[in-house]
Structure 1
Amino acid sequence: MSLKRIFLPFLLLLCYAAGAQNTATVYGTVRDEYGELVSNVNIVYFNNQAIGTSSNEKGYYLLEIPGGDTAVLVFSYAGKTSFKKLYPEAGKTYKMNVELLLEYELTEFVITDSRRNEFIMTIPIEQIEYIPDPSGDPIIAILKKYVTSNNELSAQYSVRGGNFDENLVYVNDFEIYRPLLVRSGQQEGLPFPNYDLVSNISFSAGGFEARFGDKLSSVLDIQYKKPTSFEAGATASFLGGSFHVNNGSDTGMYYLLGARYKTNQYLLNSLNTQGEYQPVFYDVQGLIGFHLNKKSDLEILGNFSSSSYTFFPQSRVTSTGVVNNVLRLEVFFDGQEVNRFMTGFGGISYQYRPSNSTGLKLLASAYRSLEDETFDVIGDYWLGVVESNQGEEDFNEIKYALGVGTFQNFARNYLDVTVLNLGHEGYAERGAHYLRWGARAQFESIQDDLKEWEMVDSAGYSIPYTGEEVTISEVFRSEVLLESFRYNAYLQDTWTPYRNDVFFITYGIRSSYWTVNNEVTLTPRMQMAWKPEWYREDSSRVDIVWKAALGLYNQPPFYRELRDYSGFVNPAVRSQKSVHALLAADYNFKAWNRDFKFVTELFYKYLYDIVPYDIENVRVRYYGDNLAKGYAAGIDMRLHGEIVEDADSWVSLSILQTRENVEGDSTFNSEGVLIERGNIPRPTDQLVNFGMFFQDYFPGNKNLKVHLNFLFGSGLPFGPPQNQYYRNSFRIPPYRRVDIGFSALLLDKNRQKGDKMWSNIESLWAGIEVFNLLGVQNTISYLWVKDINNTQYAFPNYLTDRRINLRLIMKI
């Protein structure tokens, strides 16, 4: 028996006696995933990284930490990390045996504060499943605190003036795609990431490294779990349900399996267009992994998703205007809309680590999307002025008509998308340098059959009226088969000159080539981080990281950017380009003896070779050419912490201005003088965006909680269709929404029922949610109606009204 084994209990007693008033003691062993004891493991007290130790040659460690507060210990060694949370009481001793977990993603760190030197943050996910949100998806609900989203029916979001197509999404290093033909939030199905399978979510709103792909705005990087024991769970609500089973071992095989079902019919019945809504969305997703040996691992990821949306519209009544001049539109419909989106994804990855400082990874994936968009809807409308004098007999009724007519919308649109991808990524640690590289080759096949037209008849005259022939308002017709290859590669280095946590610099370059437009891109990027050694009067270190980034970001066109309003595909469209410049601060501090994190980023993006676009609900319609240049500037501020003890809360505030100058949007005034519009607001120009998720519990009972979700966004720009001079000249009313939820813990390990059937349940929660608590009528877009004189009237398309939802969450 070694001397250290003999003296370990004696040392523990000494530590207990010396630190009983202020500190707690943690001790134990550290083993790897194969059960072997590991020496020289770095062990750091997360709350104050000046407190730390390392394991001895037998894998033993002992560490004194402050008592009376939540503590996180970080165990790291040669690319393996483990994080342990505990609630130590001053004067007590805790035994904690730890198993190091391999970090399968090609990053050095995965926890929030360990990535503070990067322009990507880890989003805490422990309590987000309780956020009351009509999407029913916790990931989307928490993302709305970091992005701009003015549509509770949609999972799409914009970041710092970009559109929905400018955001990268990765799951286990595979790039994720989404259907292209979706027009509105009510048609959307389930987003790819499944919260029940997720272990880590990282997000960057700009200034990200060269290793992330070719998009202009943001990166959402998700890693799935690698379970070592059995876990399962289920959820159910008025909006659908989910089920998952995860299991595995340290040295052999592990698997994840999740299934989800969603129907937002309950929400859609509150829209201002009445009818029969039949939305059915479901998906099945699975991952299986194999620890082949200590140096290699294999993973297979698969997903199948089906989204079906059928709608039989019946009627719509919408009023607009001011008190003494109210206009009303009444529409009676005939016809139906049937949309189907089926997607499948499969990916396989193999990772080999020849040494503790080097890792290599091969990835192959396939994506297929079959999209059908069919509708044939006829609407008979009556447009009139409403009597607003309460003394009149016909008060609140149409007193005279401005227009009577019919419109017909017809479409038979079919899209078939196939994407095949083969890639390699690697990393190597060499002294103060951490090198990363990667390359991918991708084949794309897009078959598009577009048949769509709109006819408008006003008082028996087809609009636009010529007096000579019957015309159709809009006609779109095209057949396209586009097959191409796309290649990209990157190389980057993270240099830590002082071999500590004081200063970091990451620099790299990315390149891409697309066979359609034969364009080669080169995008250098650089990020810096500095953690000053500042100390307070009580000798505690000020925990702040200052960061800066500068880089070039190109977004080669995929397909939608090539297609203009008429359906014509322009293969000569070049990459959209942006220069990002950012300054940021990441500050950890204590308030009310609790931990808080404040992050702020000041940004400026210069945009050029931009393809202008308009947004209709969630449909992005491009101009099909590089016609604009512009900018986006602003500041983001985010606060996360326990405003109420043991209940996480988030607060975010963003200020933004984004403008663009579009070629050819000038016009002649009544005197024949050419007027240049210059810089105009982009479709995503939102001056203020505020979000808050607040949690509290009933006094004396932490098992009864309240969850408040608040969103505010100032008005987005809009304008009349097919009118370049007045494009984006007006503003939609601000988006205001409050959702509230109440949850109760019915059962957990400490509150078991006597019946054996409850013995395996880890927790059982029940909740009631009130969506749109204040009943605010938020506007998503406008329906434009013309009379025979070609005068246009805009009537708002409202989002969902107040709804009550019940929810159950069970974990096994």
Structure 2
Amino acid sequence: MQLKKIFLLLVFSLLSVVAVAQKARIKGVILDEFQNPIENVGVAVGDAGTVTNSTGFFILEIPAGKKVTVVFSHVSFKNYKVSVTLKPNEDFEFNPVLNARVEEIGEVVVTGNSKKRIEGVTTIDPVVIRTIPGANAGIENIIKTLPGVYSNNELSTSYAVRGGNYDENLVYVNEIEVYRPFLIRSGQQEGLSFTNTDMVQNVDFSAGGFQSKYGDKLSSVLDITYRNPRKFGASLEASLLGGSLTVEGISKNQKWTNITGVRYRDNSLLVNSQETETNFRPTFFDVQTLLNFNASTKWQYSFLGNISQNRYNYEPLTRQTNFGTIDEPIALVVYYEGQEKDKYLTLFGAGKAVFEYNEKNKLKFFLSGYHTQEQEYYDILAQYRLGEVDANIGSETFGDVVYSRGIGSQLNHARNDLDALIVNAEVKGFHEVNKELQIEWGGKFTMEDIRDRLVEWEVIDSAGFSLPKPDLNYQNDQPYNAYVGPLAPYQNVRATNYTRINRLSGYAQMNYRGKIGAHDYWLNAGIRAHQWQVDADGVPKGDSQITFSPRVQFAFKPDWEKDILFRISGGLYHQPPFYRELRDYDGVVQTNVKAQQSFHLVLSNDYSFKMWQRPFKLVSEAYYKNITDVNTYTIDNVQIRYRANNEAEAYAYGFDARLNGEFVPGTESWFSFGYLKTEENQDGKGFIARPTDQRLKFGILFQDYMPNIPNLRLYLNLVYNTGLPGGSPSYADPYNYQMRLKDYRRADVGFSYVLKDEKIKSEKSWLKPFTDFSLGLEIFNLFNNQNAITNTWVRDVYTKSQYGVPNYMTTRVFNLKLIARL
């Protein structure tokens, strides 16, 4: 009996081994025609099946030794079938590309790429981002050409959207929120954008009316997804401004993927084109990596890491700025002593885990940390002459100051140090109830620990007569009468802040698709909640505060011949104060600053059509914002100084339009227009223009090639913005300085000679390893326009006059560029 059991056990084991041996595996990544991964694609062989995860990856066991048909299916794409015969235990990699399903609704064509269109999201092709020229090329360079987006500084990645400021924009990379440095006061110091363009797979941008799943900011969302490699690849970019190297690969068993990028940038070429002669070499360096691990069909893990270091060593020498009128030309001549040394070191790491219980239920877990150490040290003495310029052509002193109206000096000092640590823990859930209804939710805990020392002062004198701080209310009529008031710096800010903020936030939203007769509609409704409390040493602990933000989106597609979609979105949007918003003009943290609140309403029209037998789209949006508990501020270059007292109310309204399509066959270009008006009312004094009240905006992004020389490509990036309110002295009352800077006009053009890419093949042996190889020439500020970002204010003690002398940005600059990809 015992021998019989052993015999049966051996037979059973042998059969099991044979059964296992008759299995094989097919795996891969499924992409759409735009090379984006497709989630929830059904992969089936008979009754066995699986679905792709968020990266488009799948793995499925199939019978070995016989011919089987694998079916790939998705509601938004055409079914795809392939017949394979695999050997036992064979791993077969197959990466199909699915084409969008085309469904006829009368004469209207609806494609599978309609979800972002319904949400009012603008999608930007990464190829466009990499090719369009700009002094600070990258995603933000392209964002600035979109309607409703404004920026007057080509050296900064900061941008303002529909009346908001630089701090009101959300930025996500792989669903993880990223942060900007805190102490930046100049676009020249900012350096590299967090986002590495060569690692990007998908870019989505929303200028307002966004869903509850996005965080608590008032203006916009930039949602970036990094690429998940499918094979080994590398890219190199080098120019006179620096370079980058990106390497990507996948493990033999298809479970591990990695993409790593290294960037270096030197802005000397740009900043040395400005009026101030300097010994100046600002350098920026960073390393980013994205590591993915597909543990199983249910669990996927990833890690995103970044190390960035910016160094800004500035030693100004001389400057001459000519301004005034043709009849009365005036110049400011400045001689400098001293230097500025700034340094920013940031470390960022984020882990992400995705658990797919089944094709209809998914959980995501996030843990991230951001640590920044920032230093601003400077002592700069500026001795100036303000006078009349010799405008007589042919004169030996033509262009020189021949009569001085005023002579003075200004000494600026700072010893600012900041150390900030931000930790986030988050969970998100997605549940598909049926094909018409999906539920999303999430919860997040944030801990912020910030240590800040602020020491800044400024001393001003004119011809030896010291100018005291304006708010001392002492009469100063030197040199006619001696000044008898206290000696005090013109500006003096000193504060030491140790601040801790704990936050809890969460959201829940639903997506529903339905029909009204033959017409389609989509509804998204949700709510966010945010609770926080500020604890700062030396001041009373802040109150526990909480906000609720209901948001709704409704899209309607009528059953018409024309492909038109209408959208309406809105709700309450809150911005609980971040550290910068808690710090007042004196640098002291105010622990009970309220969240700014804005009621948004956005009406949109999306019209897709064909012109010249090529696809085009016209998107137009009208918007209105009513903002309360406004935390007013002033802008000095790109540094924002808040009053931290919620003393105002404001509004913004406007209209945006963008026409994009293939103006030249095979290339995407667009034309943008925006109109904006935004005003604020501080303490009932009356409405005045906000610092971001930029009335008109025109943007053009254009690509072209020469039919007779297809290797030669042209790229044009053109922006025109009307002048911003601003240029007033630091800490000034904006009600006393309602002036505007000159209009911002800039055109950057690039020429690229392509030796090899997807369209142009080459038989040259040295080009065979490359998939893309090109040489380029870029001309920044093609028409050499003088664009001012702020004013330098100088004072004449005799006439009691103050002169706003423009601080001009970069002039025309030439750059050479090499791009190579494997």
The one-letter amino acid paired with 1:504 is W
**Residue equivalent to 2:457:** 453
5+ residue gaps, structure 2: 1-42, 46-50, 53-57, 63-68, 86-94, 102-109, 469-475, 477-482, 535-541
Displacement of 1:124 in angstroms is 2.3
Displacement of 1:753 in angstroms is 4.6
**Residue equivalent to 2:409:** 406
**Residue equivalent to 2:18:** none
Are 1:693 and 2:701 matched, yes or no?
yes
Aligned equivalents of 2:378, 2:112: Cα separation in 1:
47
Q: Which of residues 505, 518, 522 in structure 2 aligns to 1:488?
A: 505
Deviates more, 1:792-801 or 1:187-196: 187-196
**Residue equivalent to 1:241:** 243
Query: 1:376–1:44: structure 2 CA closer, same or farther, 3 Å change rule?
Result: same
The one-letter amino acid paired with 1:120 is V
Aligned equivalents of 1:433, 1:612: Cα separation in 2:
41
The one-letter amino acid paired with 1:357 is K
The one-letter amino acid paired with 1:433 is L
Query: 1:382–1:751: structure 2 CA closer, same or farther, 3 Å change rule?
Result: same
Displacement of 1:326 in angstroms is 2.1
Aligned equivalents of 2:348, 2:519: Cα separation in 1:
40
**Residue equivalent to 1:569:** 589
Displacement of 1:393 in angstroms is 7.5
Please tell me whether the aligned partners of residues 608 and 616 of structure 2 are also in contact (alpha carbons under 8 angstroms): yes
TM-score of the pair, normalised by structure 2: 0.84
Deviates more, 1:165-174 or 1:647-656: 647-656
Displacement of 1:140 in angstroms is 2.8
Displacement of 1:370 in angstroms is 0.3
SS in 2 for 1:126: helix
Q: Which of residues 369, 372, 386 in structure 2 aligns to 1:369?
A: 372
Displacement of 1:649 in angstroms is 0.8
Q: Which of residues 62, 65, 73 in structure 2 aligns to 1:41?
A: 73
- Residues 240-274 of structure 1, C-alpha deviations (whole Å, 9 max, x = no match): 11110111268411111001111110010111111
Query: 1:143–1:427: structure 2 CA closer, same or farther, 3 Å change rule?
Result: farther
Q: Which of residues 200, 203, 208 in structure 2 aligns to 1:201?
A: 203
The one-letter amino acid paired with 2:581 is E
Aligned equivalents of 2:396, 2:775: Cα separation in 1:
51
Q: Which of residues 499, 510, 530 in structure 2 aligns to 1:512?
A: 530
Question: What is the 5 A alignment of 1:352-363?
Answer: 352-363=355-366
**Residue equivalent to 1:497:** 514
**Residue equivalent to 1:314:** 317
SS in 1 for 2:262: strand
Query: 1:585–1:198: structure 2 CA closer, same or farther, 3 Å change rule?
Result: same
Please tell me whether the aligned partners of residues 682 and 728 of structure 1 are also in contact (alpha carbons under 8 angstroms): no
Displacement of 1:121 in angstroms is 2.5
SS in 1 for 2:274: coil
Please tell me whether the aligned partners of residues 112 and 122 of structure 1 are also in contact (alpha carbons under 8 angstroms): no
Aligned equivalents of 1:383, 1:360: Cα separation in 2:
65
Displacement of 1:780 in angstroms is 0.8
- Residues 60-114 of structure 1, C-alpha deviations (whole Å, 9 max, x = no match): 9xxxxxxxxxxxxxxxxxxx9965599xxxxxxxxxxxxxxxxxxxxxx998533
The one-letter amino acid paired with 1:405 is G
Matched residue pairs, number? 718
Aligned equivalents of 2:80, 2:174: Cα separation in 1:
31
**Residue equivalent to 1:282:** 285
SS in 2 for 1:718: coil
Displacement of 1:38 in angstroms is 5.2
- Residues 669-688 of structure 1, C-alpha deviations (whole Å, 9 max, x = no match): xxxxxxx4x11110011111
Query: 1:40–1:739: structure 2 CA closer, same or farther, 3 Å change rule?
Result: closer
Are 1:712 and 2:720 matched, yes or no?
yes
Please tell me whether the aligned partners of residues 754 and 775 of structure 2 are also in contact (alpha carbons under 8 angstroms): yes
Q: Which of residues 445, 454, 470 in structure 1 aligns to 2:487?
A: 470
- Residues 648-703 of structure 1, C-alpha deviations (whole Å, 9 max, x = no match): 11211111001100117xxxxxxxxxxx4x11110011111111111111122322
Are 1:261 and 2:264 matched, yes or no?
yes
Query: 1:427–1:209: structure 2 CA closer, same or farther, 3 Å change rule?
Result: same
The one-letter amino acid paired with 1:455 is V
Are 1:799 and 2:809 matched, yes or no?
yes
Query: 1:85–1:773: structure 2 CA closer, same or farther, 3 Å change rule?
Result: farther
Question: What is the 5 A alignment of 1:611-690?
Answer: 611-663=631-683, 676=685, 678-690=686-698
- Residues 403-431 of structure 1, C-alpha deviations (whole Å, 9 max, x = no match): 11111000000000100010000110112
What is the percentage of aligned positions where both structures have the same residue? 40
SS in 2 for 1:180: coil
SS in 1 for 2:350: strand
Query: 1:766–1:651: structure 2 CA closer, same or farther, 3 Å change rule?
Result: same
5+ residue gaps, structure 1: 1-27, 46-52, 61-79, 87-108, 536-541, 665-675
Deviates more, 1:243-252 or 1:404-413: 243-252
Query: 1:211–1:725: structure 2 CA closer, same or farther, 3 Å change rule?
Result: closer
Deviates more, 1:417-426 or 1:402-411: 402-411
SS in 1 for 2:198: helix
Q: Which of residues 219, 229, 232 in structure 2 aligns to 1:230?
A: 232
SS in 2 for 1:379: strand
Query: 1:732–1:469: structure 2 CA closer, same or farther, 3 Å change rule?
Result: same
Question: What is the 5 A alignment of 1:107-506?
Answer: 113-146=114-147, 147-248=149-250, 251-388=254-391, 396-431=399-434, 432-464=436-468, 465=476, 466-498=483-515, 502-506=520-524
Aligned equivalents of 2:764, 2:711: Cα separation in 1:
20
Aligned equivalents of 1:335, 1:490: Cα separation in 2:
51
The one-letter amino acid paired with 1:354 is Y
Displacement of 1:647 in angstroms is 1.7
Aligned equivalents of 1:159, 1:278: Cα separation in 2:
31
TM-score of the pair, normalised by structure 1: 0.85
Query: 1:487–1:657: structure 2 CA closer, same or farther, 3 Å change rule?
Result: same
The one-letter amino acid paired with 1:512 is H
- Residues 567-597 of structure 1, C-alpha deviations (whole Å, 9 max, x = no match): 1221111001101001001121110000112
The one-letter amino acid paired with 2:495 is S
Aligned equivalents of 2:402, 2:549: Cα separation in 1:
62
Aligned equivalents of 1:530, 1:113: Cα separation in 2:
12
The one-letter amino acid paired with 1:774 is F
Question: What is the 5 A alignment of 1:76-115?
Answer: 83-84=98-99, 113-115=114-116
SS in 1 for 2:146: coil
- Residues 198-217 of structure 1, C-alpha deviations (whole Å, 9 max, x = no match): 11111110000011000000
- Residues 542-569 of structure 1, C-alpha deviations (whole Å, 9 max, x = no match): 2221100120000000111111222122
SS in 1 for 2:119: coil
SS in 1 for 2:662: strand
Aligned equivalents of 1:355, 1:459: Cα separation in 2:
78
The one-letter amino acid paired with 2:167 is D
- Residues 623-670 of structure 1, C-alpha deviations (whole Å, 9 max, x = no match): 121011011100111122110111211211111001100117xxxxxx
Aligned equivalents of 2:649, 2:451: Cα separation in 1:
31
Q: Which of residues 547, 558, 581 in structure 2 aligns to 1:532?
A: 558
Q: Which of residues 789, 792, 795 in structure 2 aligns to 1:780?
A: 789
- Residues 137-193 of structure 1, C-alpha deviations (whole Å, 9 max, x = no match): 255334433521111111000000000000000011110001011111111111111
The one-letter amino acid paired with 2:526 is G
SS in 2 for 1:116: helix
Aligned equivalents of 1:285, 1:447: Cα separation in 2:
26
The one-letter amino acid paired with 1:781 is T
Aligned equivalents of 1:388, 1:127: Cα separation in 2:
46
- Residues 350-391 of structure 1, C-alpha deviations (whole Å, 9 max, x = no match): 100111111101100000000000000011111112344669
Query: 1:85–1:281: structure 2 CA closer, same or farther, 3 Å change rule?
Result: farther
Aligned equivalents of 1:555, 1:727: Cα separation in 2:
28
Aligned equivalents of 1:396, 1:197: Cα separation in 2:
49
Aligned equivalents of 2:701, 2:82: Cα separation in 1:
46
Query: 1:120–1:741: structure 2 CA closer, same or farther, 3 Å change rule?
Result: same
